[in-house]
Structure 1
Amino acid sequence: MNQKQRRVWLIRALLEEMPQYQYPVFPYTPDRQWRLLRSLMNVRPPMPVTEKFLQVQDAFLREMAEEKGIVEAESLPPCAKDSRLVLWQGDITALRCDAIVNAASSRLLGCFQPCHDCIDNIIHTMSGVQLRLACHELMQDREEPAGRAEITPGFNLPARYVLHTVAPVIEGDITAEAEALLASCCRSCLELAENNDLHSIAFCSLSDGSRFPQDRAAEITFRTAAAFLQKETCIRRVIFTVPKGSSLAVWQDLLA
């Protein structure tokens, strides 16, 4: 199959699985087909999947990643303050490193809102339906407390693993407890990476979806990571990723 054939095959397979989402007119442009496919992947519950589906999906997502362009973490220039710290603006799902961090919801099942632009949705989409299944098996319907982290394979991502952490949700003023929990998110991810002998880890914005002010979240993440690197650790590279279109100013000040 070529990419068009895979995309159409996957859409038809998902519509057969979930007939309630039958589309009145099958989209004919690649962009509309991708949007429908992504939407169906987003709403699909964590249920068994066939080997044939995984073969087609994996081939589709991996070729899509190659077409987007994979960025090698080792090729990114370090900051002047510490050669282990990197600031990079781009798509975290395009980064080849040992682990990327996901700002997850408490059930770790990803975002079910079709084509939502949160990092949780994007990571689950580009990883494939296996990630939701793996998280479901890991969590067994429990909820992850804020400040902790869990690890799963990255499946179709260039990154080998995904570290899922739940940031505290801010309602009103930022409290010292919320700040401590956000620092714990960062520290838990670093500890999990170290315990699994991972050498490179890329952080997304841990405030994504939690309403934690981005500037303060960036400062807490940076200071926690910098303090962690003061001890002996196998981690050789910590990448702070900023989505395209977002300001780099706060991070540039922190890393100057």
Structure 2
Amino acid sequence: MIECIQGDIARQPDIEAVVNAANAQLRPGGGVAGALHRAAGPELDRACRSLAPIRPGEAVITAAFALPNQYVIHCLGPVYGVDEPAEALLADCYRNALELAEREGLHSIAFPALSAGAFGYPLEEAARVALETVSTTLPRCPHLERVRFVLFDARSAALFRRMLDELQAG
């Protein structure tokens, strides 16, 4: 099941792993990374240090510490207009995160709109890549029962829901 909601990625207690829109050094920052690091506590920053740096499209996993989840999967999305091929790298983020969750035997994962904030990826294009990649990757991930997109604002959530409906309608 794929769902799209408006909410706070750091407050998804019914989800096993949340995805961090990370920077290459996996350090606290603004946006999603800042929110998750603040909510998780300083242990998350310490756990990330030995895993950095990561490249666009890569995904790594840590414990979630003070977050209400078991894990954080950190993905480095492409910077739009800089990291190329942007669409393939963005798809790699979602695919690699799902495959990592599957290897860990997880049943649920929540994503933000990777690269659509400070990294400048146009929201509609980012949503299309995200939803298409998740839809085509999920059949190879039998443990995963729920994928949730957690969008910061109502406009983004509505766009993701509309695009998901269109994708599922065929």
Length-normalised TM-score, structure 1: 0.61
Question: 1:138: Cα distance to partner?
Answer: 2.8
Q: For 2:114 and 2:12, locate their aligned partners in 1 and report how far apart those are by CA, in whole Å.
A: 17
Q: What does 1:24-173 align with in structure 2 at a 5 Å threshold?
A: 84-96=1-13, 97-111=15-29, 116=30, 118-139=31-52, 143-171=53-81
SS in 1 for 2:46: helix
Question: 1:210: Cα distance to partner?
Answer: 1.3
Question: 1:245: Cα distance to partner?
Answer: 4.5
Q: Return the structure number with greater strand share.
A: 2
1:133-158: CA deviation from partner (whole Å, max 9, x where unpaired): 0001333xxx2110010000110001
- 1:201 corresponds in structure 2 to 109
SS in 1 for 2:119: coil
Asked whether 1:213 is paired with 2:122, we answer yes
Question: 1:119: Cα distance to partner?
Answer: 0.7
Identity %: 37
The structure with more radius of gyration: 1
SS in 2 for 1:156: coil
- Unaligned ranges ≥5, structure 1: 1-83
Q: For 1:91 and 1:103, locate their aligned partners in 2 and report how far apart those are by CA, in whole Å.
A: 13
Q: Return the structure number with greater helix share.
A: 1
Q: May I ask how many residue pairs the two structures share in their alignment? A: 163
Q: What does 1:229-240 align with in structure 2 at a 5 Å threshold?
A: 229-231=138-140, 233-240=142-149
Length-normalised TM-score, structure 2: 0.90
Stretches (4+) displaced over 3 A: 244-247
- 2:151 corresponds in structure 1 to 242
Q: For 1:211 and 1:247, locate their aligned partners in 2 and report how far apart those are by CA, in whole Å.
A: 14
Q: Is contact 2:150-2:157 (8 Å) kept?
A: no
Report which structure shows greater RCO (CA 8 Å, sep ≥6).
2
Cα RMSD, aligned residues only: 1.6
Q: For 2:133 and 2:24, locate their aligned partners in 1 and report how far apart those are by CA, in whole Å.
A: 22
- Closer, same or farther in 2 for the Cα pair 1:150/1:232, shift >3 Å? closer
